[in-house]
A and B are shown apart, each in its own frame.
Chain A
Amino acid sequence: MATIDLDHLVKRYGPTTVVHGIDLSVHDGEFVVLVGPSGCGKSTTLRMIAGLEEISGGEIRIDGRVVNDLQPRDRNIAMVFQNYAIYPHVTVADNIAFGLYRSKLSKSEKRQRVEQAAETLGLSQLLDRRPSALSGGQRQRVAIGRAMVRDPAAFLFDEPLSNLDAQLRTQMRIEIKRLHHRLGTTSVFVTHDQVEAMTMADRIVVMRDGRILQVGTPLDLYENPVDVFTARFIGSPTMNLVPASLRDGGADLSLGGSVQVPQATATTADILVGARPQDLVPGSAGVPGLTVSGTVAVVETLGSETLVHIESAGQTIIGSAPGRQIPQIGEHLTLHAPAERLYYFDKATEKALAAR
């Protein structure tokens, strides 16, 4: 187990800078997820921690030791790749044993470790098989086995679930999370999937264009996004944003109507009012908040809830209705979100206005 510290970490490819001096501390035993759209530098950051990518500036410390110039094998980390990267020409047992390649354990001890890892991951029956005879989920488990058998200081996961189908992804997500609870090993997990980030992370690091936008617990990010990007990236479906202009004590919505804005600290009068689809429900209660009326354009029936897309003044707003209440397309509908569930952003800087 170990801490990982990134200090002004920079990565340049020729004249292009892809990671712009990021700072991050991963605590001992923590499960941190780096999330962001492709090209945001999250995988590059992970690969720099692993030592697969040279760093152009700054410092990486694993357990307090500067590892900038250490070979990957000398960093005592284990990594799980998106394409599993298990060797097709050797058996499952040998694949897992590769994790112990440099270990000085005796042969029987190594065998025992491999069997232990296999048992933890439900691979005991498959030890003599070749990877080609395994399913995607089993292959990914072998890759995890190879990582955990060594008892490394930290696990690094590079989008390990991207190649799995939806059902398997959910299952592996839970398995990895459970494994982390059991082993308590510091983990850094890279994904572009905000659901994975939300469900797995102790803390989420939102990245964009080689910079860290926000670090926080999943709920923290959901409740207090610092900017429009994070607000829209976290949570599914994405947050509705309605343009509005500030006036005394409130703001006039572009859709018509107005809302009360608690503290108006925007640089200009133009702001964005945000509401998550889950908070925007049919009916206009007599409480202050955001009220949107429009025509139902699309209905997505999910069973547990129904997502309703309504067209209002040329903008599509997504709200949600209870599972068994299915509005008709073309129907006129009014959605309402209470004032305490609203988010406010400066339209020019896209930064969040003072705390709700």
Chain B
Amino acid sequence: MKAAASPPGLVMPHIRPGRILAWTLLFIGGVIMVTPLLFMLSTSLKDASQVYDLRVIPEAPTLDNYIEILGDGRFTRWLINSTIVAVIVTLSNVFFDSLVGYTLAKFRFRGRYIVFIAILSTLMIPTEMLVLPWYLMASQFGWIDSYWGIMFPGMMTAFGTFLMKQFFEGVPDDFLEAARIDGLNEFTIWWKIAMPLVTPALSALAIFTFLGNWTAFFWPLIVTTSAELYTLPVGLSSFAVEQSIQWEKIMTGASIATLPTLIIFLFLQRYIVRGVMLAGLKG
């Protein structure tokens, strides 16, 4: 009781200068990152005549752009396309990356190391260099302008395989051996025992893959020719080339396209942070 006797007001919270600097930097960083987003949202609420009026809060906010965009069959088509592509590629990555990663981590076979190095070495090749061979391949197999054409290069990734391999290496062999004795076959051991043990890595992989494909622009632009197969980013960019640049439409579409990303971030923040820490890269 004695210790609490000093009058309030005399106790100044001690703030270290380092703290103030950190907060200031974070604040500036936050402003830099949030401003374009705010501007996108604000432009989406303006009509075409106000687009170049740079006020953040529109003079006469309107939802017309949203009504128009959502009523536009093309936009919903692109939204569906993006969803199909991102979901299928994500599922495929979660399945194949972890299957291959598990095999590389837990089985000893001749050539294992060579396979691993080969997979890893593809990480060193920039996407821009791969686009040409992908295109040639797609064109020879007749995959240009098809869902499969958009998806095939990303169905399995070296990064995902590497990530999952590292994780499966952390799964104690005892679990797998116990399952072997219990009578599970190798595939079931992977699916029922090993997979649930690496859920954090799986969710990180799934989130990265989904976001990467949801926002992918370059390859879908190259491989698609008809507007029905555009993904959202490609479709939105077409607003900029047709007659004139329709900024309010682009911003409205972009705002809608950001929603899933935002929702994912909000709900899966914990996993994303953990995923970034686990993966040690990306972000």
- Chain A residues near B (Cβ < 8 Å): 50-52, 71-73, 77-79, 81-90, 98-99, 101-102, 143, 146
A sample of 28 inter-chain contacts (CB < 8 A) reads A50-B177, A51-B180, A51-B181, A52-B177, A72-B180, A72-B181, A73-B180, A73-B181, A73-B182, A73-B183, A73-B184, A77-B181, A78-B181, A79-B177, A79-B178, A79-B181, A81-B177, A83-B174, A84-B174, A85-B174, A85-B175, A87-B193, A87-B196, A87-B197, A98-B178, A102-B183, A143-B178, A146-B182
Asked if B172 lies at the interface with its beta carbon under 8 angstroms from chain A, I say: yes
Rounded to whole angstroms, the CA-CA distance of A2 and B176 in the bound complex is: 25
Top 3 closest pairs, chain A to chain B, by CB: A102-B183, A73-B183, A85-B174
Q: Report the minimal beta-carbon distance from A13 to chain B, rounded to whole angstroms.
A: 12
**Residue contact B184 to A85, C-beta cutoff 8 Å:** no
**Residue contact A85 to B183, C-beta cutoff 8 Å:** no
**Residue contact B184 to A101, C-beta cutoff 8 Å:** yes
Asked if B100 lies at the interface with its beta carbon under 8 angstroms from chain A, I say: no
Given A81-B177, A89-B197, verify A99-B182 contact (CB < 8 Å): yes
On chain A, the residues within 8 Å of B196 by CB distance are 87, 89-90
Chain B residue with the shortest CB-CB distance to A100: B182
Q: Report the minimal beta-carbon distance from A76 to chain B, rounded to whole angstroms.
A: 10
**Residue contact A87 to B175, C-beta cutoff 8 Å:** yes
Rounded to whole angstroms, the CA-CA distance of A146 and B178 in the bound complex is: 10
On chain A, the residues within 8 Å of B183 by CB distance are 73, 101-102
On chain B, the residues within 8 Å of A82 by CB distance are 174
Q: Report the minimal beta-carbon distance from A89 to chain B, rounded to whole angstroms.
A: 4
- Chain B residues near A (Cβ < 8 Å): 172, 174-175, 177-184, 193, 196-197, 199
On chain B, the residues within 8 Å of A50 by CB distance are 177, 181
On chain B, the residues within 8 Å of A84 by CB distance are 174
**Residue contact B177 to A85, C-beta cutoff 8 Å:** yes
Q: Report the minimal beta-carbon distance from B196 to chain A, rounded to whole angstroms.
A: 4
Rounded to whole angstroms, the CA-CA distance of A99 and B181 in the bound complex is: 8
Chain A residue with the shortest CB-CB distance to B174: A85
Rounded to whole angstroms, the CA-CA distance of A85 and B189 in the bound complex is: 13
Q: Report the minimal beta-carbon distance from A143 to chain B, rounded to whole angstroms.
A: 8
On chain B, the residues within 8 Å of A78 by CB distance are 181
Rounded to whole angstroms, the CA-CA distance of A83 and B184 in the bound complex is: 19
Rounded to whole angstroms, the CA-CA distance of A226 and B179 in the bound complex is: 40
On chain B, the residues within 8 Å of A52 by CB distance are 177, 180-181
On chain A, the residues within 8 Å of B197 by CB distance are 87-89
A87-B196, A99-B182 known; 13 other A-B pairs, CB under 8 Å? A52-B177, A72-B181, A73-B183, A77-B181, A79-B178, A81-B174, A81-B177, A83-B174, A85-B174, A85-B175, A86-B178, A87-B197, A98-B182
Chain A residue with the shortest CB-CB distance to B188: A101
Chain B residue with the shortest CB-CB distance to A88: B197
On chain B, the residues within 8 Å of A146 by CB distance are 178, 182
Chain B residue with the shortest CB-CB distance to A78: B181
Rounded to whole angstroms, the CA-CA distance of A241 and B181 in the bound complex is: 45
Rounded to whole angstroms, the CA-CA distance of A313 and B196 in the bound complex is: 63
Rounded to whole angstroms, the CA-CA distance of A166 and B199 in the bound complex is: 34
Chain B residue with the shortest CB-CB distance to A158: B174
On chain A, the residues within 8 Å of B174 by CB distance are 81-85
On chain A, the residues within 8 Å of B178 by CB distance are 79, 81, 85-86, 98, 143, 146
On chain A, the residues within 8 Å of B175 by CB distance are 85, 87
Q: Report the minimal beta-carbon distance from A190 to chain B, rounded to whole angstroms.
A: 14
Q: Report the minimal beta-carbon distance from A51 to chain B, rounded to whole angstroms.
A: 8
Rounded to whole angstroms, the CA-CA distance of A82 and B179 in the bound complex is: 15
Given A87-B193, A88-B197, A89-B197, verify A98-B179 contact (CB < 8 Å): yes
On chain B, the residues within 8 Å of A72 by CB distance are 177, 180-181
Chain A residue with the shortest CB-CB distance to B195: A89
**Residue contact B182 to A83, C-beta cutoff 8 Å:** no
On chain A, the residues within 8 Å of B199 by CB distance are 89
Rounded to whole angstroms, the CA-CA distance of A88 and B171 in the bound complex is: 11
Rounded to whole angstroms, the CA-CA distance of A235 and B78 in the bound complex is: 78
Q: Report the minimal beta-carbon distance from A219 to chain B, rounded to whole angstroms.
A: 33
On chain A, the residues within 8 Å of B181 by CB distance are 50-52, 72-73, 77-79
Rounded to whole angstroms, the CA-CA distance of A143 and B184 in the bound complex is: 16
Chain B residue with the shortest CB-CB distance to A90: B196
Rounded to whole angstroms, the CA-CA distance of A72 and B255 in the bound complex is: 57
Chain A residue with the shortest CB-CB distance to B185: A73
On chain B, the residues within 8 Å of A88 by CB distance are 197
Rounded to whole angstroms, the CA-CA distance of A143 and B178 in the bound complex is: 9
Chain A residue with the shortest CB-CB distance to B175: A85
On chain B, the residues within 8 Å of A73 by CB distance are 180-184
Q: Report the minimal beta-carbon distance from B142 to chain A, rounded to whole angstroms.
A: 44
Rounded to whole angstroms, the CA-CA distance of A84 and B177 in the bound complex is: 11
Rounded to whole angstroms, the CA-CA distance of A102 and B196 in the bound complex is: 21
Rounded to whole angstroms, the CA-CA distance of A52 and B175 in the bound complex is: 12
On chain B, the residues within 8 Å of A77 by CB distance are 181
On chain A, the residues within 8 Å of B193 by CB distance are 87
Q: Report the minimal beta-carbon distance from B184 to chain A, rounded to whole angstroms.
A: 6
Chain B residue with the shortest CB-CB distance to A89: B196
Rounded to whole angstroms, the CA-CA distance of A140 and B199 in the bound complex is: 24
Most chain A Cβ neighbours within 10 Å, of B181, B182, B183, B199: B181
Rounded to whole angstroms, the CA-CA distance of A51 and B178 in the bound complex is: 11
Rounded to whole angstroms, the CA-CA distance of A72 and B196 in the bound complex is: 23
Rounded to whole angstroms, the CA-CA distance of A82 and B173 in the bound complex is: 12
